[in-house]
A and B are shown apart, each in its own frame.
Chain A
Amino acid sequence: MPASERDFTAPTVQLLTPEGELRATPEAEAYLPLIEALDDATLQRFHRDMTVSRRLDVAGANLQRQGQLALWVPSLGQEAAQVGSAHAARPQDHIFPSYREHIVGMIRGLDPVRIMALLRGTTLGGWNPEETGNFHLYTLVLASQTLHSTGYAMGLQFDGATATGDPDADAAVLVYYGDGSTSQGDANEALVFASSYQTPQVFFIQNNQWAISVPVSRQSRSPLSLRGGGFGMPGIRIDGNDVLISYAVTRQALEEARAGEGPTLIEALTYRMGAHTTADDPTKYRTDAEVEYWQQRDPIARYRTWLESRGASAAFFAEVDEEASDIAADVRRRALEITVPTREKIFAHVYSEAHPLMVEQAAWLDAFENSFDGGAE
């Protein structure tokens, strides 16, 4: 069969149309009860979090342009994929991000100024996952975290911390990565280990169509969701710009994982409306028409339309906009107050236990720097 005639397709599961109508695709109908179970406050929270995420993107990009950050990593356009899936996790779950999931961290309790510290170059990590709702550190080497998350999920199994039948106690692991990362060996080895050990785990691929400048077609000839089946686990392709389906499918997969039914792979189709990072120039590799296409599928606009159709007031949206602006302004203010760490930070914690080179070199650097004190006028 010629390559052009081979059929590798997967349905895209969707609840909310780009026009903002709740109209489940056939594969999505089973998820409707999960949405019907959500109260108004939670549904409003989805909008609020997506709005905060987008507002923070503006603040982050501005800080970078003003020389206050080494880099900013936008998530513009990916708000629904991130917000829906993040709300699907329970407090006891562990989340392993890539490096673009700022709002996911905030939903878990991370102060976004810690992300600013990382991108401002004052730390290599920035937070303690035990204090941030089990939201683990960003990992900058693509797909490395997929294996860590699988190992962590294996540990949950070995501890008996999952699959006991108590969904309020049983823990699962949610790991984020992107379409580019799916080509890494580690991403594939993680699927092998997860399937082999039947880990309580959800692999959440944000397919934002571009790995910096290379389109997803270079990573895969077929829908990435099909890779789940190849490794022996369900693979589901969802409309990643639909916050409701992102929530519902992730929720279902996590519940199955915590019940001992093994891992699931989710491919969320979305679009990186902004640049890869502030060091990128997307006008060099993609067309205005493509950006326009995705603008019409904007995750926040469609969700707002739906909330309005359910009676959300203009006052509510104005309130959210104001809150988002306040949060962004506060993060900006505190980001500018981040101070340069003292030089002990170079050597502290490279090892957990005493190490002679750390002691010697820290002492040498101290002596060297102090030799200038009161030296040259």
Chain B
Amino acid sequence: MSAGIDEEVRVTDVANGASGLDTPSDTRPTEAAPSAATPPVDSPAPEVRGVHTLSMAKAINAGLREALLGDEKVLLMGEDIGPLGGVFRVTEGLSAEFGEKRVLDTPLAESGIVGTAIGLAMRGYRPVIEIQFDGFIFPAFDQITTQLSRQTVRHDGTLSMPIVIRVPYGGHIGSIEHHQESPEAYFAHTPGLRVVSPSNPHDAYWMIQEAIASNDPVLFFEPKSRYWPKGPVDLDHSGLPLHASRVVRHGTDVTLVGHGAMVATLLQAADIAAEEGRSVEVVDLRSLSPIDYGPLLDSVNRTGRLIVAQEAYGNVSIGSEIAATVAERAFYSLEAPVLRVSGFDTPFPPAALETEFLPSPDRVLEAVDRALAY
């Protein structure tokens, strides 16, 4: 692990009390390497901005702001993202700062938003779309899968589609139908798209900027139940490229892998397991398409056991793909079959039942028990 930012390091840096989040910077995401080279003699020393404690919503807001400052072709598009700042306030203040030509409150039509964003990208813009809730992405499904994902190949590479689609997703917020879904597999299944999901504020801050800098379309799934918990954000070092997975807790007995909000659940499960004397490793997937199998296979080769956890329906899911791939590539390391802990293959239930539908630490530990019993 190079420059991985684990909890301890970040807490230490936060304690050092750096400041400067509100200071404009011309630092582009791609140049923000963890080990910055010595700057040329003539240029001023890069400003050290330090580590700040932010919620994920604020971290994405700060990342969007950096992107808007860094490239005048970056536009935000969505429903209620202007003066209101979005229903989750992720774009709060950006309309006031950048104006309605950079932060567009569009007509209320998801296909229209994505379709016009494609036209804007053809014109050289880099639209960043907010889909208000996971369950409302489907009116745009056609434009995303038949148009957005294929423009580059249809143009023989002469046209890029640098469009980011931000999707607040997942459960745990007790909301009504179509507001707690996890539709990421549909998009990971579609060639031409990239799909990522941060699990913490630091990754969210950097990954949104890297997604906007990408010349390919990126579906950016934001675990909405993680919008509010705060965490340290190192504003100077991203730590990892956009499509890298990361070991977030080291252990020796079994590997747990997940993405988005599930990472917090897996860390809780690991804590409980530790009390029971079991050493659990946790991998944060971060990128769902492509999947960075390196750290995962390395982990499985050491632990011999893998549990994949996800809020999404299990049937034909990201977890299914990981289980199949790990079985192919780490067959002789496995001491037990790869097990999946998923949402059930039903519509997301009424919120009163969501705690039984969503994988909990206990359900993860039940799978750990089964894996260790082999």
Residue A8 at the chain B interface, CB threshold 8 Å:
no
Residue B147 at the chain A interface, CB threshold 8 Å:
yes
List A contacts of B132 (CB < 8 A): none
CB distance from B248 to the nearest CB of A (A): 22
A352 and B152: CB pair below 8 A? yes
List B contacts of A137 (CB < 8 A): 154-155
Using A192-B107, A352-B157 as known contacts, say yes or no to A151 and B117 having CB atoms under 8 A apart: yes
A sample of 5 inter-chain contacts (CB < 8 A) reads: A147-B114, A147-B116, A147-B143, A350-B152, A355-B216
A151 and B153: CB pair below 8 A? no
List residues of A whose CB falls within 8 A of some B CB.
Answer: 123-125, 128-130, 136-137, 139, 141, 144, 146-156, 158-159, 185-186, 189-190, 192-193, 196, 348-353, 355-357
Chain B positions 137-177 with a Cβ under 8 Å from a chain A Cβ:
139, 142-143, 146-147, 150, 152-161
A155 and B125: CB pair below 8 A? yes
Number of cross-chain contacts by CB at 8 Å: 128
CA of A348 to CA of B120 in the docked complex: distance in angstroms?
24
CB < 8 Å neighbour of A186 from B111, B156, B158, B159 = B111
List residues of B whose CB falls within 8 A of some A CB.
Answer: 75, 101, 106-107, 109, 111-112, 114-125, 139, 142-143, 146-147, 150, 152-161, 191-192, 194, 214-216, 290
CA of A147 to CA of B148 in the docked complex: distance in angstroms?
12
B192 and A350: CB pair below 8 A? yes
Using A123-B156, A128-B156, A185-B139 as known contacts, say yes or no to A152 and B123 having CB atoms under 8 A apart: yes
CA of A151 to CA of B75 in the docked complex: distance in angstroms?
12
Given A186-B142, A189-B112, 16 further pairs, Cβ under 8 A:
A123-B156, A125-B154, A128-B155, A130-B158, A141-B146, A148-B116, A148-B122, A151-B115, A185-B139, A192-B109, A348-B156, A349-B155, A350-B191, A351-B192, A352-B160, A352-B161
CA of A305 to CA of B358 in the docked complex: distance in angstroms?
74
B192 and A150: CB pair below 8 A? no
A150 and B125: CB pair below 8 A? no
A147 and B155: CB pair below 8 A? no
CA of A130 to CA of B124 in the docked complex: distance in angstroms?
13
Most buried by A among B106, B112, B118: B112
CB < 8 Å neighbour of B142 from A129, A144, A355 = A144
Using A155-B125, A156-B123 as known contacts, say yes or no to A147 and B156 having CB atoms under 8 A apart: no
CB distance from A29 to the nearest CB of B (A): 36
A351 and B115: CB pair below 8 A? no
List B contacts of A348 (CB < 8 A): 153, 156-157
List B contacts of A147 (CB < 8 A): 111-112, 114-116, 118-119, 143
CA of A26 to CA of B109 in the docked complex: distance in angstroms?
39
CB < 8 Å neighbour of A349 from B117, B123, B156, B290 = B156
List B contacts of A353 (CB < 8 A): 214-216
List B contacts of A148 (CB < 8 A): 115-116, 118-119, 122, 147
Using A124-B154, A350-B191 as known contacts, say yes or no to A151 and B214 having CB atoms under 8 A apart: no
B107 and A189: CB pair below 8 A? yes
Q: Residue on B with the closest CB to A149? A: B119
List B contacts of A189 (CB < 8 A): 107, 109, 111-112, 115
List B contacts of A156 (CB < 8 A): 123
CA of A155 to CA of B127 in the docked complex: distance in angstroms?
11
CA of A147 to CA of B75 in the docked complex: distance in angstroms?
17
A144 and B123: CB pair below 8 A? no
B142 and A159: CB pair below 8 A? no
CA of A129 to CA of B123 in the docked complex: distance in angstroms?
12
List A contacts of B153 (CB < 8 A): 124-125, 348-350
CB distance from A143 to the nearest CB of B (A): 9
List A contacts of B152 (CB < 8 A): 349-352
CA of A189 to CA of B123 in the docked complex: distance in angstroms?
20
Using A158-B125, A351-B152 as known contacts, say yes or no to A144 and B143 having CB atoms under 8 A apart: yes
A144 and B156: CB pair below 8 A? no
A193 and B156: CB pair below 8 A? no
CB < 8 Å neighbour of B147 from A136, A141, A153, A355 = A141
CB distance from A92 to the nearest CB of B (A): 13
CB < 8 Å neighbour of B119 from A141, A155, A351 = A155
Most buried by A among B155, B157, B161, B192: B155
B142 and A141: CB pair below 8 A? yes
CB-based closest 8 A-B pairs? A151-B119, A147-B115, A155-B123, A151-B116, A349-B157, A189-B112, A125-B154, A152-B119
CB distance from A349 to the nearest CB of B (A): 3
Q: Residue on B with the closest CB to A96? A: B119
CB < 8 Å neighbour of A150 from B101, B116, B155, B216 = B116
List B contacts of A129 (CB < 8 A): 155
